[in-house]
Structure 1
């Protein structure tokens, strides 16, 4: 969702180095407008001020502008410590003194692509669509490794890092309804979840969760005939490759994090006038269903999703 911002900056002549944590860095290597990717040596959580000071000294004098995309205090520290003269970001978490060019956080949750692209200072943000690209030969090599042909299989991404309230529970039932090979993709933490789905449809399913690099997963998504996923990172990857997809929403909202893809079909019972009683509780943006019924995803049938493929 940050790619349109980078494309805008590149188009006006800025040479881009992206700093990212190691598990995010490969995403930026699939963006041709990025000149270099710097992997940050930080663990998740905590200021880690000593490590940031050390890296700040190493980077001193190398950059004219820093666009600080996360809204956290610690994200804005490194550009200050590196002496970057122009530091652009949103207000929040006492960052007034850390940023030189500050945008106010919008009261209502905007689409995240527009939220990030606004840091460019440009207009026409509603037209932005994320785009990823891999060399055709790289995709074909990965498909050959797994004995696959382009468009001949369905990718399912049943995980969602945020929590259970974003995970549709009927992937296994859907797999049994399909007559095409199904690849289950996700992180190592989602391997057991994917294995339980594979056990429901062992003839068609292959569980590759935790067994691919992120770039391999990208290639498998780029070559898929369809992708079915929750509102997750891999959903946005499928959208950026323009693959036909079905995106399933529960506690979150497609008004905030939509799959920006003309070939995407969104299922969200909140927007279904025929669903009764209405989901007045959605979107709650909670990790677990606070009411305990989990209707927003439980009541989306596998047959309904099958009809969209």
Structure 2
């Protein structure tokens, strides 16, 4: 009897990247029918992994982003050695991310060359950024034989939502069903150069209320200040500022019952796309050709100014025109709604 292939994936540290990694998990199931995939990932990502049917188990990495702590990594690696993994696929490019599979003695350790980790990886791939311009393509390529050179097909991530949980959440948060909801996601963990102006979100929300929608502002506690500013600038009733009142799993389930979403280039944008929701994605300092929302229902608004994409956390020119010049009327049009 043939034993199923067991693969450990060392996952990324960002919400959006973890969503895109589902494309890799799908490809691994195609390549190795019956494969068992475990993902070593930050604690926050475990609820997202639980919504991916391709993943057997999410394993919490006990160290924060940037921490080395060789002893803890060695202890974790030795504890994972007993699982008998056949292969490890290391998605991050850092040396420390490749240590646990090496300590675990996993026979095949796959990843792109980077940070002098030649001894830690024994299935080393050279990254051709021109051949693989998209992050999701790079993830998927690591799940294919090294001999496969064209840009691979990337299946669309599809998260499973818990609609019963969404119903309970709406009751707990005082959200009604009398009007369809459109979600606004004004946060961007990377920095303010990726954030559409708050007053633009306010104008958009005012227009949505006038057209019979309710508005849910979704995000973490860090997004509460900008969400407060947006809500204070809205004319009309029906805006619900939920930032800081929900966990990531809650946001996932609430997005699943929304009519549409409007988002900066952020992790929640990728979550909404993976829930197969119509998404309007606002890009400024980042590159929509590198990390686009992976859904045919997504509409990207990107001006492509001479100064963008700069990939900076703060606008180096001090004006953030790459986002400020995208008007709420354009977002309404992308949603298929009448303009202001």
Q: Is TM > 0.5 for Structure 1 vs Structure 2? A: yes
For 1:81-160, what aligned pairs fall within 5 Å after superposition? 81-108=103-130, 110-121=133-144, 125-146=152-173, 147-149=175-177, 152-160=180-188
In the alignment, the residues of structure 2 paired with residue 222 and residue 148 of structure 1 have an alpha-carbon distance, to the nearest angstrom, of: 15
Match for residue 21 of structure 1?
Answer: 42
Where 1:134 maps in the other structure, the secondary structure is coil
Alpha-carbon distance, 1:142 to partner: 3.2
Match for residue 306 of structure 1?
Answer: 332
Match for residue 280 of structure 1?
Answer: 306
Tell me if the contact between 1:185 and 1:209 (Cα under 8 Å) persists in the aligned partners: yes
Where 2:139 maps in the other structure, the secondary structure is helix
In the alignment, the residues of structure 2 paired with residue 183 and residue 106 of structure 1 have an alpha-carbon distance, to the nearest angstrom, of: 41
Unaligned 5+ residue runs, structure 2? 1-19, 336-340
From the superposition, tell whether residues 150 and 165 of structure 1 become closer, same or farther in structure 2 (CA, over 3 Å). Answer: farther
RMSD: 1.8
Q: Which moved more, 1:44-53 or 1:140-149?
A: 140-149
In the alignment, the residues of structure 1 paired with residue 316 and residue 179 of structure 2 have an alpha-carbon distance, to the nearest angstrom, of: 39
In the alignment, the residues of structure 2 paired with residue 208 and residue 128 of structure 1 have an alpha-carbon distance, to the nearest angstrom, of: 31
Give the paired residue count. Answer: 301
Q: Does 1:194 align with 2:227?
A: yes
In the alignment, the residues of structure 2 paired with residue 98 and residue 304 of structure 1 have an alpha-carbon distance, to the nearest angstrom, of: 49
For 1:170-209, what aligned pairs fall within 5 Å after superposition? 170-179=200-209, 180-201=213-234, 203-209=237-243
Tell me if the contact between 2:161 and 2:275 (Cα under 8 Å) persists in the aligned partners: no
Alpha-carbon distance, 1:7 to partner: 1.2
Match for residue 274 of structure 1?
Answer: none
Q: Which moved more, 1:172-181 or 1:93-102?
A: 172-181
Match for residue 241 of structure 1?
Answer: 275
For residue 9 of structure 1, the aligned residue among 28, 36, 47 is 28
Match for residue 276 of structure 1?
Answer: none
Unaligned 5+ residue runs, structure 1? 271-278
Match for residue 294 of structure 1?
Answer: 320
Residue-by-residue CA offset, 1:252-305 (whole Å, 9 max, x unaligned): 1110011111111110011xxxxxxxx112111111112222110010111221
For 1:30-69, what aligned pairs fall within 5 Å after superposition? 30-62=51-83, 63-69=85-91
Alpha-carbon distance, 1:145 to partner: 3.8
Match for residue 75 of structure 1?
Answer: 97
Match for residue 163 of structure 1?
Answer: 191
Tell me if the contact between 1:151 and 1:225 (Cα under 8 Å) persists in the aligned partners: no
Q: Which moved more, 1:120-129 or 1:31-40?
A: 120-129
Residue-by-residue CA offset, 1:218-276 (whole Å, 9 max, x unaligned): 01111100100011100001111110110000011110011111111110011xxxxxx
